[in-house]
Structure 1
């Protein structure tokens, strides 16, 4: 039992480390310059990590291209902010370790209760199933939070894009300006734009890159912006009026969402009032009348 408990604790610790690595890969930060010795050590560690993960990353790409449900899972992870095979592998491995650690905890719980081995395994599977459901809900929550952040950043990104475009910059210059100026204010949008710029600089066609990334965006604002940039890059027309119209449409959508939220909130408050406030009002207002009526009926009966 001690060995099983130790293994479950080590599994959870390893899962925490893998989750930390996934977050570091998900949102890398620029750090200060380091010495050549430290840089060489980091390069060696990165090379070793690449050799260890290379086969897994290739297998993950191959499986996601062959299996539709894995492709949907990879798309969900990507929309949650875990861009790239490395970050997705770290996250999946961490979640698998968490589920296995919870399974070990369920087995320990069943053993402490003195259950038979079949029931012990059932308890472990029940704990693991609950952990898997919680992990899935957590991933969906991460995706919803990122979509909300992208929607909040879309208006500012469109306005800055319009100003940079009016200054006479090319598409690459506009992307560099957005990345440089909005790195702190709009970090999630800048990550997507940085990926667009890297692919364009790698030699891919502008329209293809913009349309491919627009197709997998969870935010309607960023999706419309990338599609608009692809159309402008293909046709070569002016972007000022189109960007203004896009900004107006996004503000109208936000206004409608706020109105819907207020309407739903008022409906919920009405339901709360009907359930809790009206019975109290009936007791206060009709209580004396009911008491007097009961007294009168009692006098008549006597």
Structure 2
């Protein structure tokens, strides 16, 4: 104990009151710098080494070099084992959530986990700085230090998850609002003599200004159909990307209509009518919720001033009488 006290006094005499905390922070930062490259280092795949050796042996003396080298834009490729979940189910769940939030890139999962890791480290650094500023000339317990350091780190770490969840909810709401109009427009196009593929292209063009999220989904569907992908698989992928129950039911109706050979226009007419009724019911539901939501605000804003006006003079008179007596 005497050795620890002497060391603490020596640090305080050399570095001031922040000496012990600066030493702990420096050691922790050094450990992060030492262990981070080890954790992020990606092991060489034996198959990749075999492919590289095969390319080297197959290269002819007079053969020119590659005209286009690999684009180094994906800087996080070598950290994929650290930044991506190794469990297939967890990876699929995160990828689906990001797709429904509008992030459909192939590296979306990697960037998401990198954002969580980077923001968590930034939060820890902010917490350490805040703790150093608040421990000047004060006796601070270890619990307070942990709270000051870990709370910013945890908040910053959870920030990407909150952002993605919020974006997913906003995108689902926008798609839900624009879907009935898209069905009416698609029904008009089909009844005018256009095929389903042509009607989807036309709807995607017309909806770009009002509902860009839904227009982007229809445009992706039309491009996949042009590429030759199966129509049922394309529609099911759209339902999975959107994550809206109305579109899932719509896709089921179209797939069944295609399988049984029924008229697509009849199916669209019935389903569009149901979507219009559902939109009206949704608006009525929101209108019926409004008085309940306004009750608390009305009570908070009207009852206290009313009580102050009614009871205030009486309370003032009572206090004056008791004070004078």
Using the size of structure 2 for normalisation, the TM-score is 0.63
Matched, 1:197 2:252: no
- Spell out the pairing of 1:179-194 with structure 2 (5 A cutoff): 179-194=204-219
Which residue of structure 2 lines up, in the alignment, with residue 48 of structure 1? 72
Give the direction of change, closer, same or farther, for the CA distance of 1:259–1:234 in structure 2 (3 Å limit).
same
Q: List gaps (5 residues or longer) in structure 2.
A: 1-21, 30-66
CA distance in 2, matches of 1:198, 1:57: 30
2:281 to 256, 260, 268: 256
| Structure having the larger proportion of residues in helix | 1
Which residue of structure 2 lines up, in the alignment, with residue 12 of structure 1? none
CA distance in 2, matches of 1:232, 1:143: 30
Give the direction of change, closer, same or farther, for the CA distance of 1:273–1:190 in structure 2 (3 Å limit).
closer
2:198 to 173, 181, 188: 173
Give the direction of change, closer, same or farther, for the CA distance of 1:193–1:276 in structure 2 (3 Å limit).
closer
Which residue of structure 2 lines up, in the alignment, with residue 77 of structure 1? 98
Which residue of structure 2 lines up, in the alignment, with residue 107 of structure 1? 128
Deviations along 1:197-238, whole A, 9 cap, x unmatched?
333344432112212432443223333333333233333321
- Spell out the pairing of 1:216-235 with structure 2 (5 A cutoff): 216-235=241-260
CA distance in 2, matches of 1:190, 1:287: 60
Give the direction of change, closer, same or farther, for the CA distance of 1:249–1:156 in structure 2 (3 Å limit).
same
CA distance in 2, matches of 1:57, 1:84: 15
Q: Tell me: higher relative CO, structure 1 or 2? Use CA pairs within 8 A at least 6 residues apart.
A: 1
CA root-mean-square deviation: 3.9
Q: List gaps (5 residues or longer) in structure 1.
A: 8-42
2:95/2:108 contact within 8 Å kept: no
Q: Give 1 or 2 for the bigger CA radius of gyration.
A: 2
CA distance in 2, matches of 1:62, 1:110: 33
Between the two proteins, the alignment pairs up a number of residues equal to 256
Give the direction of change, closer, same or farther, for the CA distance of 1:46–1:226 in structure 2 (3 Å limit).
farther
